């Protein structure tokens, strides 16, 4: 019966728009607030959702709707009568339907009941269609406001202070998933309304890039400061709020407190397992040590693994998540430019061996990737440059206009300018997502995900020769050198014009990346490099495989590269015979 009374229908005009908020009243510019989405106020009873909501709606010239009043109107009885007659479960189901109907309509300011946001389906609706605001009020103020009221079913027969304390303990971690959090004081409603409006105007939603992998699709969320709201972004996608945080020791010292607080805010608990920085951590010994520490902590199959660091941490933690208990849910919070634009997206995980880089690993897609561009501000400029090589790579593969953007904006990216960094990350992630969606496991015979290895056959050989010593050559530096060589090798083979190879090398050199073997400050042996390339994981049947180019934005997979041609080219480039 309650389902029928609260079934979706067009609300009467007078119930849609509160009389205190006429549309013809001058208000704040609505286009600047919530991007046309309905504004949804959440919080405990007594937080002032209705009082603030009416004033906010009047300021914006929007209709105001109180979901509890709408439910009472539709059901023809009070909330307390609905609870008494049908029970809380039936009330919540009806509440969900009413809120779904309201959010499907034009933009409004919506005050919800205290328990509405606790429903996962309602939260998902609000995330999809609204802009949520938690009115966070200290407990003593709430107790004072609700004491003596008899219209609150959850207060019936109970001590308000005890009831509210219990509700706050259960609900605050869920309210903390709201887009905007406003700490409310014991002040005039108009003052609180001002602060809510200012918070809404200041809020900049992070960019989202979808990686569309059917039932394993996920979002890459990009924005400044989002690590501090890590829990709000991860709670919707992880199966429990118990996690293992695998972090780089240096990153943890710089940013650990921030991400830990962001997780705790939404009720996440768990341990941080620290790993020494550097490529040396991607080895069997470090992998075994990490697995043993995870198991010693009592993980189960719903325990999430969060990687917090650069590409090394993402690869190591992701591989541990892939094999521990035969697979644990996994999320990435990459902290280097290289990891944000490349390694954190796509599900490749693994460790190195004496035979080569990433030869032991698994495909294990994350549930979400949080790219906090503000974290890049603490990176040394050398690390930013190294990461930038992977940014430019996307333009060189199949998007010449993006490479032209890189030529114009690359210096700003490596200088750490916020807008340029955010754009570089977003465009790179979109390019990576498109390729991964088309060829998740690198199985397409021609092109596909293999194209992302532009420059990497050379790069992995260089890294192996240095013993993966980042002091000598960072991964991104090796990639930049490898890409420059791949274009010059293509030109030598008559596949592309010399001017294309010169264009690529000139751009990388302009931002401070190596483009010649001599730029590394060490000598290279051609035979040893060729031997390394034979063992590269992309090689098939002992045949060398390279990603070469017919021009800028025209990369392709070459599986018939002759060793003599490669050996001669390396010698021309300065490698010893």
Tell me the catalytic residues.
326, 348, 390, 432, 442, 449, 453, 456, 460, 475
Residue 374 to residue 227: CA distance in whole angstroms: 9
Write out the DSSP string of 138-181.
-HHHHHHHHTT----GGGTTS-HHHHHHHHHHHHHHHHTTSSEE
User: Helices 284-296 and 311-323 sit at what angle, rounded to 10 degrees?
Assistant: 60
d(CA 342, CA 311): 8
Q: Which of 452, 308, 419 is nearest to 369 (CA)?
A: 308
218 within 8 A of 209, measured Cβ to Cβ: no
Structure tokens at 345: 């997206």
- Is residue 22 classed as helix, strand or coil in its secondary structure? coil
CA dist., res. 53 & res. 109, Å (int): 6
- Cβ–Cβ contacts within 10 Å for residue 239, how many? 12
CB 6 within 8 A of CB 98: yes
Categorise residue 553: left if φ over 0, alpha if ψ from -120 to 50, beta otherwise: left
Strands 130-137 and 38-42: parallel
Question: How many CB atoms are located within 10 Å of the residue 520 CB?
Answer: 16
Q: List alpha helices for 265-417, DSSP H.
A: 284-296, 311-323, 337-338, 381-398, 400-414
User: Is 303 within 8 Å of 242 (Cβ atoms)?
Assistant: yes
| C-beta separation of 21 from 57 below 8 A | yes
What would the two tokens of residue 480 be?
């930049």
Please enumerate in sequence order all residues whose Cβ is within 8 A of that of 81, keeping only pairs 6 or more positions apart, or say none: none
């Amino acid at each position: 019966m309650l389902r029928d009374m609260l079934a979706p229908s067009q609300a009467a005009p007078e119930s849609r728009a509160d009389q205190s908020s006429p549309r013809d009243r001058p208000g704040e510019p609505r286009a600047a607030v919530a991007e046309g989405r309905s504004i949804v106020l959440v919080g405990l009873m007594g937080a002032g959702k209705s009082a603030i909501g009416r004033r906010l709606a009047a300021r914006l010239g929007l209709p105001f709707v109180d979901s509890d009043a709408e439910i009472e109107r539709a059901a023809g009885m009070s909330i307390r009568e609905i609870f008494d007659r049908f029970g809380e479960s039936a009330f919540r189901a009806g509440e969900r339907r009413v809120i779904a109907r309201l959010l499907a309509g034009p933009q409004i300011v919506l005050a919800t009941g205290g328990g509405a946001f606790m429903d996962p389906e309602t939260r998902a609706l609000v995330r999809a269609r609204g802009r949520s605001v938690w009115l966070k009020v200290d407990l003593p103020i709430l107790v004072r406001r609700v004491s003596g009221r008899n219209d609150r079913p959850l207060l019936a027969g109970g001590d308000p202070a005890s009831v509210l304390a219990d509700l706050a303990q259960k609900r605050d971690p869920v309210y903390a998933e709201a887009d905007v959090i406003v700490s409310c004081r014991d002040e005039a409603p108009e003052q609180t309304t001002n602060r809510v409006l200012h918070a809404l105007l200041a809020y900049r939603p992070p960019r989202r890039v979808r990686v569309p992998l059917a039932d394993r699709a996920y979002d890459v969320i990009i924005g400044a400061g989002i690590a501090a709201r890590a829990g709000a972004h991860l709670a919707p996608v992880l199966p429990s709020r118990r996690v293992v945080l695998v972090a780089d020791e240096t990153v943890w010292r710089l940013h650990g407190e921030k991400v830990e607080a962001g997780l705790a805010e939404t009720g996440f608990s768990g341990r941080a397992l620290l790993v020494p920085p550097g490529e040396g951590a991607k080895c069997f010994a470090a992998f075994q040590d990490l697995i043993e520490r995870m198991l010693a902590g009592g993980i189960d199959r719903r325990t999430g693994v969060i990687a917090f660091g650069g590409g090394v941490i993402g690869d190591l933690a992701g591989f541990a998540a892939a094999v521990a208990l035969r697979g644990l849910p996994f999320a990435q919070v990459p902290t280097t430019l290289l990891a944000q634009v490349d390694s954190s997206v796509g599900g490749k995980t693994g460790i190195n061996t004496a035979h080569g880089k990433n030869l032991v690993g698994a495909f294990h897609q994350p549930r979400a990737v949080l790219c906090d561009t503000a974290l890049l501000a603490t990176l040394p400029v050398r690390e930013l440059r190294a990461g930038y090589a992977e940014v430019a790579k996307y333009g060189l593969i199949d998007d010449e206009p993006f490479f032209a953007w890189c030529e114009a904006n690359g210096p700003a990216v490596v200088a750490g300018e916020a807008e340029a960094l955010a754009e570089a990350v977003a465009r790179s992630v979109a390019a990576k997502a498109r390729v991964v969606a088309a060829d998740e496991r690198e199985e397409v015979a021609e092109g596909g995900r293999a194209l992302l290895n532009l420059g990497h056959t050379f790069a992995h050989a260089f890294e192996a020769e240095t013993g993966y010593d980042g002091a000598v050559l960072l991964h991104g530096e090796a990639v930049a050198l490898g890409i420059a060589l791949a274009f010059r090798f293509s030109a030598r083979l008559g596949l592309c014009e010399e001017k294309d190879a010169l264009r690529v090398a000139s751009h990388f050199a302009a931002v401070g990346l190596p483009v010649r073997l001599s730029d590394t400050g060490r000598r290279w042996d051609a035979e040893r490099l060729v031997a390394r390339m034979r063992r590269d994981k992309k090689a098939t049947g002992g045949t060398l495989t390279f990603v070469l180019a017919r021009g800028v934005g025209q990369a392709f997979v070459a599986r018939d590269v002759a060793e003599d041609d490669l050996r001669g080219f390396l010698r021309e480039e300065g490698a010893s015979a």
